[in-house]
């Protein structure tokens, strides 16, 4: 037994505290409330109220003291209950890790910054950042550890997502460069091979076979490059309103031909959901997913496709900046195949990553899907466990009402561009960034303001340069309506577009917006926004009565 003394030891900040009590249940030992508040009470309150877990533990792996944050973090009913657990087996996800830490830190005076995997009482894994010190007796032996534990689960998850996103971005840039150059090289090779073949004199007929082989190789190379370009390139899609349900049911017959008869293809729903997407790209995505599902189900199984409407919130924006908050259609493609382990799951979108034998897989299918979905402003998630099958969820932005009204299954709309300067006032930072990114992509110069006052300052500083003001209606300091009124009072004729998360009618009811001022409802789609902006800039304010109008 390492704990020789159970009475007192030097605690945090050198203050004496009992080693076997619990900071969570101090009632019995507290001095009467009438007594002056002692230093002891003051330290106790500091620890009881701490946001991070604070504990003292024995070398053998028992908690000796825990604060309420510790009890909450580990999901126990009381401090008493937590004091009864065996840390190595009940708290550490891997008992060996604790033994290793003890070995490592028994010799050290204090240690800061080690991240460990713990589990809560119900088994949920949590990532915890530990720092603290070993407390020694007069003989220099470690008596116990005094530690601060911070739950960093959310942060580590976000960091992992961010790392993944950055990796994909880096790989995307690298691939784009290579693919672009190779594409040119292969084009030259292909054109010249075709040319030589067409001119080959009959006496050189024996060369024909060699040249045809060369031609086939070049074609295969070109097909691979196409996939790489789909992974990395932006802005090549023909986005338009597309009935996803209809496209899926039309593609199903083709999918049935890809999979063997032992695989059943099930369509969960054929309801009409109109998204903003490129039909050819969606077909390619389905084809690749079906091929992977087929490969994962050599002994047969079920391939299921379903669609569902859902809302994606701000939460995705940090790691997937191209995803705007709003309404999305979720296309779920699942199989009952072999599934993937964590190592495969992590690399599934990397170009050239394949677990298939040479010649069977190129490792470009999922990479292409990733790129295509990203270019749609969507998201793709893979859920898979070994032996449990695989579910791929793909989110496409929903088309707005006006776009849905004119659905063309093969819609091939090129969105209008411009070179004007636009002042954007928006208090929500992520929307501000997204707006800027989008407008710049379509050729505009953008000035950003975080509220109405800043918008007016910017406007005055750039007098004469600004061709259009886009302003959110509800903002701190000065709202969009006031910005508009001020500009008109100062006889500035610059066109103004209002945006708001409230419906046009709500806003008109409460803020009395001029029905002549163009209004874009949030969440807008890129197509809706750039088309409306172009119309306003071209002086055509209200081409058609809005469905939300009075």
Binding residues (CB under 5 A) for Mg ion: these are 292, 365
- The answer to whether 292 contacts ligand ADP (rule: CB under 6 A) is yes
- The answer to whether 286 contacts ligand ADP (rule: CB under 6 A) is no
Minimal distance, residue 336 CB to ligand ADP, in Å: 10
Q: Evaluate whether 286 touches 255 at the Cβ level (below 8 Å).
A: yes
Distance CA 248, CA 271 (A): 10
Minimal distance, residue 348 CB to ligand ADP, in Å: 4
Sole window of 114-122, 310-318, 336-344, 420-428 interacting with ligand ADP (rule: CB under 6 A): 336-344
- The answer to whether 366 contacts ligand ADP (rule: CB under 6 A) is yes
Q: What ranges in 309-384 are assigned the alpha helix state H?
A: 342-347, 365-375
- The answer to whether 362 contacts ligand ADP (rule: CB under 6 A) is yes
Q: Which backbone phi and psi does 228 adopt, to 5 degrees?
A: -60, -40
Minimal distance, residue 368 CB to Mg ion, in Å: 9
Contacting residue, 161, 355, 430, 535, with ligand ADP by CB under 6 A: 355
- The answer to whether 131 contacts ligand ADP (rule: CB under 6 A) is no
Minimal distance, residue 323 CB to Mg ion, in Å: 24
Contacting residue, 22, 338, 400, 500, with ligand ADP by CB under 6 A: 338
What distances in angstroms separate CA 194 from CA 205, 211, 215, 221, 265, one per listed residue?
15, 9, 7, 15, 41
Q: From 359, 415, 368, select the one nearest 171 (Cα to Cα).
A: 368
- The answer to whether 337 contacts ligand ADP (rule: CB under 6 A) is yes
- The answer to whether 403 contacts ligand ADP (rule: CB under 6 A) is no
DSSP 408: -
Contacting residue, 221, 321, 326, 361, with ligand ADP by CB under 6 A: 361
Q: Evaluate whether 508 touches 380 at the Cβ level (below 8 Å).
A: no
Between strands 142-151 and 125-136, the pairing is antiparallel
Minimal distance, residue 288 CB to ligand ADP, in Å: 6
Coil, strand, or helix at residue 529?
Answer: helix
- Residue nearest ligand ADP, CB atom distance: 365
The mark string for 367-396 relative to ligand ADP (x by CB under 6 A, - otherwise) is x----------------------x------
Q: Which is nearer to ligand ADP, 209 or 359 (CB)?
A: 359
By CB atoms closer than 10 A (0-12, 13-18, 19+), residue 308 is: middle
Q: From 430, 485, 483, 420, select the one nearest 455 (Cα to Cα).
A: 483
Q: Which is nearer to ligand ADP, 61 or 378 (CB)?
A: 378
- The answer to whether 527 contacts ligand ADP (rule: CB under 6 A) is no
- Chosen from ligand ADP, Mg ion, none, partner binding at 338 (C-beta under 5 to 8 Å by type): ligand ADP
Q: What is the dihedral of CA 143, 148, 151, 152, to 10 degrees?
A: -110
Q: From 200, 229, 230, 203, select the one nearest 215 (Cα to Cα).
A: 200
Residues of the shown chain interacting with ligand ADP in the complex, contacts defined by CB under 6 A: 288, 292-293, 296, 335, 337-340, 344, 348, 353-356, 361-367, 390
């Amino acid at each position: 037994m390492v704990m020789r003394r159970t009475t007192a030891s030097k605690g945090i900040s050198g203050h004496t505290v009992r080693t076997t009590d619990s900071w969570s249940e101090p009632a019995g030992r507290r001095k009467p409330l009438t007594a002056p508040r002692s230093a002891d009470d003051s330290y106790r309150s500091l620890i009881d109220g701490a946001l991070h877990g604070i504990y003292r533990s024995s070398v053998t792996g028992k908690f000796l003291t825990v604060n309420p944050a510790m009890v909450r973090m580990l999901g126990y009913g009381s401090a008493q209950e937590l004091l009864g657990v065996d840390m190595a087996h009940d708290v550490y996800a891997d008992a060996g890790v604790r033994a290793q830490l003890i070995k490592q830190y028994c010799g050290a005076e204090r240690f800061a910054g080690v991240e460990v995997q713990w589990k809560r009482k119900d088994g949920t894994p949590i990532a915890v950042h530990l720092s603290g010190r070993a407390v020694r007796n007069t003989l220099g032996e470690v008596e116990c550890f005094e530690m601060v534990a911070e739950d960093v689960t959310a942060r580590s998850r976000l960091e992992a997502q961010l790392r993944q996103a950055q990796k994909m971005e880096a790989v995307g840039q690298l691939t784009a460069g290579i693919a672009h150059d190779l594409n040119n090289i292969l084009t030259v090779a292909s054109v010249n091979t075709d040319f030589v073949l067409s001119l080959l004199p009959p006496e050189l007929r024996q060369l024909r076979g060699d040249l045809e082989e060369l031609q086939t190789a070049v074609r295969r190379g070109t097909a691979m490059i196409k996939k790489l370009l789909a992974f990395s390139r932006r802005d090549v899609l023909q986005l338009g309103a597309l009935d996803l349900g209809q496209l899926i049911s039309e593609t199903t017959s083709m999918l049935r031909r890809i999979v063997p008869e032992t695989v059943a293809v099930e369509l969960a729903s054929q309801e009409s959901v109109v998204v903003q997407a490129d039909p050819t790209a969606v077909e390619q995505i389905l084809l690749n997913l079906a091929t992977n599902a087929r490969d994962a189900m050599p002994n047969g199984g079920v391939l299921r496709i379903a669609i569902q409407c859902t809302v994606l919130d701000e939460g995705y924006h940090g790691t997937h900046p191209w995803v705007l908050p709003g309404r999305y259609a979720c296309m779920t493609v699942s199989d009952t195949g072999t599934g993937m382990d964590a190592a495969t799951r992590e690399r599934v979108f990397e170009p050239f990553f394949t677990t298939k034998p040479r010649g069977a897989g190129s490792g470009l299918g999922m990479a292409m899907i990733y790129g295509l979905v990203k270019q749609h402003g969507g998201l793709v998630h893979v859920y898979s466990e070994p032996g449990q099958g695989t579910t791929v969820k793909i989110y496409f932005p929903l088309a707005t009402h006006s776009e849905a009204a004119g659905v063309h299954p093969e819609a091939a709309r090129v969105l209008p561009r411009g070179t004007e300067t636009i002042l954007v006032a928006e208090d929500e930072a992520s929307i501000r960034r997204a707006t800027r990114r989008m407008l710049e992509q379509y050729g505009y110069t953008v000035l950003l303001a975080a509220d109405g006052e800043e918008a007016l300052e910017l406007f005055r500083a750039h007098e004469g340069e600004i061709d259009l003001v886009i302003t959110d209606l509800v903002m701190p300091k000065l709202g969009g309506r006031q910005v508009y009124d001020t500009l008109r009072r100062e006889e500035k004729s610059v066109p103004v577009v209002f945006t708001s998360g409230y419906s046009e009618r709500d806003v008109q009811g409460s803020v009395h917006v001029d029905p002549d001022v163009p209004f874009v409802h949030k969440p807008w789609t890129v197509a809706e926004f750039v088309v409306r902006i172009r119309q306003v800039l071209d002086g055509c304010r209200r081409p058609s009565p809005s469905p939300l109008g009075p």
